[in-house]
Amino acid sequence: MTGPATGTQAPPEAPSLGRKVGSAARWSLVNTVVMRLGNFATGIILARFFLGPEAWGVYGIAQTVLLVLLSANELGVSLAIVRWEGDPRRFAPTVLTLSAVSSCLLYAALFAAAPVVARVLGSPEASGVLRVMCVCVVLDGLSQVPAGFLTREFAQGRRMAVDSVNFVLSTAVTLLLAVEGWGAMSFAWGSVAGNAAALVGCCLAAPGTLRFGWDAAQARALLGFGLPLAGASMLALGVVNVDTMVVGSSLDQLALGFYVLAFNISGWPVRIISEAARRVSFAGFSRLADTPDALAGGFGRALGVVMTGTVPLCVLLAALAAPIVELVYGARWLPAAAALPWLMALGLVRIACELAYDCLVAVGRRRSLIGVQALWLVVLVPVLVVGARSGGIVGVAQGHVLVAGAVVVPVFLVTLHRAGIRLGTVARACAWPFLGGAVMAAVVVGLERLLGDGVPALLATGAAGTLGYVLCVLPSLGFLRGTTPAATAAAKG
């Protein structure tokens, strides 16, 4: 028997899952906020001084195609690095081989089809930008395995270092080329440079993980696991990006540029809050998947935290859309403000749905997710087409909100209920943030009419609205920390 009497100390206790998730979440939030603020500042510089709405439209088309390809570039198999039990180094070489081959095939297909794709989407000049920017598909496919190891180990500190190098290099290249007059192509080469740096950084942060190999039995199991996820992910990206395609093909390139800017602004809270949460949510939900009560409680608190952090950002950007757009980007971008309030509502729905998506993937309900995403896309496309023809970019934004609120949210709630997460859990998580958001909106709209839209007035209005919101959500802090009876009740629905 060992102990103090023998001078032998017990081995240090391994960090608990809660501490790992908490530390990873903090690093992820810091990482996401810093990166997004940097991207935000870069976008302002480019929009105000170097690129007009037409260039933003070309960039938006290229970015849309890239995101859709990235959703399926590794066939969903890389998530096995995070989700599967056992030593992932046994099957990681097969994952890397599948990911690399599928990424190269996707890029080859895109390279050949780029002129046709650009013409169909209403931007024939985007063909060259597409061919350059989508090199990122191959680079991303190669980085999936080392990045998966970082996620599995909750190593978000190392991930922040990788993302910082990516950001610095991509921003420097983009700005340099924009100053030289490269237009939308500056985004493309900046993205390639940043992704190449990220690949090198991931390999250094997770050494020994970039090894190719092949095991036929593992490949069959990985494809059986990953293909449904890739299908659901591709449908999800289609839902988010089909509006850009509709605007590009139905309206002119100027309208597309305004819409892309408005959609990017609406994505600020989505990227800052949701992206930080998703870097740890899937791994965390996966650890709780076999304990239904713990999973329900964890999802409820995660949703509450995400909503509490997101609602005030959405309210401010929606209520002060026109003055914020004019102040930040300049008067020539004001037409983008008309669609922004509706897109902020959509952003709030997207954040909740993305968290639900990760939870449902963790508990193995991949087929249900495919059904939900397919329904969303099938209903959305005709609504957006009608909205574009009747109301321009505002009609497109309104169509998004209509489909999300009337069709998608109810279906997600039913799917979550079948997974053991009841409506009461979701309602408790959202009640206080929504109440605070309503109060904040009333304060902001009232003061904006009273004080005007000058910079001092906007600062005073935003501060007063935020104070009202904070006072409303204070009673929910115990629930969010999991220290009140309500938090325990949330686990039982």
pLDDT digits (tens, 9 = 90+) for 7-63: 444 444 445 555 555 555 555 556 566 666 667 777 777 777 777 777 777 777 777
Share of the chain above pLDDT 70, in %: 82
Q: Check residue 406 and give its pLDDT.
A: 92
451-482 pLDDT, tens per residue? 877 888 888 999 999 999 999 998 888 777 76
Average pLDDT of the segment spanning 399-408: 93
Q: Check residue 270 and give its pLDDT.
A: 67
**Vertex 142 angle, CA 136 and 144, to 5°:** 100
Q: Check residue 344 and give its pLDDT.
A: 93
Q: Which amino acid is at 54?
A: E
Token representation of residue 96: 């890397």
- 10 Å Cβ neighbour count for 8? 10
Average pLDDT of the segment spanning 121-145: 85
Please provide residue 84's backbone torsions phi and psi, each rounded to the nearest 5 degrees.
-70, 145
Pairwise pLDDT comparison (86 vs 262), residue with the higher score: 262
Q: Check residue 425 and give its pLDDT.
A: 86
Is residue 179 over pLDDT 90?
A: no
Residue 203, helix vs strand vs coil: helix
Share of the chain above pLDDT 90, in %: 20
| Cβ pair 230, 271 in contact under 8 A | no
Residue 148 pLDDT grade (very low, low, confident, very high; cuts 50, 70, 90): confident
Average pLDDT of the segment spanning 59-85: 72
Is residue 75 over pLDDT 80?
A: no
Is residue 67 over pLDDT 70?
A: yes
207-255 pLDDT, tens per residue? 888 889 888 888 888 888 777 777 777 777 777 778 888 888 888 878 8
367-389 pLDDT, tens per residue? 777 788 888 889 999 999 999 99
Nearest partner of 148 among 84, 218, 221, 222, judged by Cα: 84
Contacts of residue 55, defined as CB under 8 A and 6 or more positions apart, other chains included, come to 183, 184, 257
Cα(246)–Cα(390) distance, integer angstroms: 13
Pairwise pLDDT comparison (415 vs 367), residue with the higher score: 415
Cα(393)–Cα(381) distance, integer angstroms: 14
